[in-house]
Structure 1
Amino acid sequence: MYRLISEIKKQESILNHMLKRVVSNRKRICDPCIEKIENDLNEIKSLLTLKNKELKYILDAMNDPSCKCPCESPSPEPEPDPTEDRLYGFAYSDADSSVSGNVKFQVFSPRHEDIINKDGGLQVSKTGVYQVSYSVSCKVLNGAANPVKFKIVVNDSFIPSTSVLETNTSQHLFSSQLVPLMEGDIVKLDAEVSEGNSYSKPTLQILMI
Structure 2
Amino acid sequence: MSSLLYIKASPRGERSHSLAVAEAFVEAYRDAHPGVSITEKNLFTDDMPPFDGPTIQAKYNVLHGRDHTLAEKAAWDAVVRIIDEFRGHDRYLFAVPMWNFAIPYPLKHYIDLLVQPGLTFGMTEEGGYYGMLEGKKAAIMYARGGQYAPGTQAEAFNHQSPYLEMILGFMGITDVHPVAVEGTLFGPDVRDPARKAAMEQARTLAATL
**Same fold by TM (over 0.5)?**
no
Structure number with higher helix proportion: 2
Name the larger-Rg structure: 1
TM-score interval for Structure 1 and Structure 2 normalised by the shorter chain: under 0.3
Which protein has the bigger strand share? Answer: 1
